[in-house]
Amino acid sequence: MAKKYIIPLIFLCIFSLFDLSGAAADDAVPHCSLLSEKASGDMAIYSVHGDANGPVFFSGISCAIRHRNQVLCAMEMVSFDATAKVFDYYSGEELAINKAYFWLDEKNDQTPIAAFSSRENAEKYKTEFGDGLILDYTGLIARVVN
């Protein structure tokens, strides 16, 4: 029974040593990485947590989606899609990732992706902070591949 958990734990330990992307666009937002626990503080609004053959925690939405698309098998993707949570940029409210709307800067992929509870809030953010794409979860996983 314990052997079943050893390989995933070793994988997570080794994988956590690697940085999943380059530098973040803002000093307040840390490098994209797999975390050992749920994010808190200023970092939380850009973070994702869920389950993919065990709990997973990411410092950024793009980081989590790249991990989902490139590392997870089909069964783990289903688990991740059903359990992953993001935080609304304005309220900090925890949302199911597949119910959220996302703003991403199509000209600068280092800019953190922001999550929103409604399309209207995402449009408000777009008006305040500049052009970008507003996507639902399906659009986001299709768009963020590298």
Confidence of residue 36 (pLDDT cuts 50, 70, 90): confident
What sign results for the dihedral spanned by CA atoms 38, 39, 41, 47? negative
Q: Which tens digit of pLDDT belongs to each residue from 37-47?
A: 788 777 788 88
The mean of the pLDDT values for the chain is 80
Q: pLDDT class for 106, splitting at 50, 70, 90? A: confident
Q: What is the pLDDT of residue 9?
A: 41
Q: Which residue has the higher pLDDT, 121 or 5?
A: 121
pTM score of the predicted model: 0.74
Per-residue pLDDT, averaged over 97-108, amounts to: 92
What are the respective helix, strand and coil percentages of the chain, to the nearest 5? 40, 20, 40
